[in-house]
Amino acid sequence: MTDPIKKSKWRSIAIEVLLFVVVVAGIRLWQQRDMVSGVAPVLQGVTLAGKPYQLPAHPERPVLVHFWATWCPVCRAEQGSIAALARDNPGFISVAMQSGTPQQVTQYMSEQGINFPVINDPDSSISTAWGVHAVPASFIIAPDGQIRFVEVGYTTEIGIRLRLWWAGI
């Protein structure tokens, strides 16, 4: 015979877990409400290093487009993983959203010891075109030019690597 107190306790835990999952899913849906899908929008500009960049319509391999901000603590926690991904992925590009002048962003990167390709987006024109309202936000573009994955919030390096791999097969 089962103990009704134990059964009630497990039911309560299950309801709390379900409620947590629903709340997290709702927040993610709200954060991603305007983010683009389908064909990747045009992305071009000049990086902080002075190099022109244009997202290829059909990249040879999957491309990570990463939006971040200097004022974002979650972005700061994730930047080591992003730097490692940038080293291994030549098509990688990041966009610094509402982070100040190019000099301010460059200074921040220098202070943090990070060095990956960045297009500055002080007025959010690029972020708006991609529907980004919250950072960090990552898009993985497949070789056919389609956005395969969109993530908002902290994402592990292995999670992004797996998504890049999956988008390439």
**DSSP letter for each residue of 43-79:** -EEEBTTS-EEE--SS-SS-EEEEEE-TT-HHHHHHH
pLDDT the model gives residue 30: 67
Given pLDDT bands bounded at 50, 70 and 90, which one contains residue 37? confident
Q: Residue 159 and residue 98: Cα distance in Å, rounded?
A: 26
Q: Residue 140 and residue 92: Cα distance in Å, rounded?
A: 10
Question: What is this structure's pTM?
Answer: 0.84
Q: Residue 68 and residue 151: Cα distance in Å, rounded?
A: 12
Q: What is the pLDDT of residues 98-148, one digit of tens each?
A: 999 999 999 999 999 989 999 999 999 999 999 999 999 999 999 999 999
Find all residues with CB under 8 Å of 113, minimum gap 6, and list them.
none
Domains of the chain: 32-168 (3.40.30.10)
The average pLDDT across 84-104 equals 94
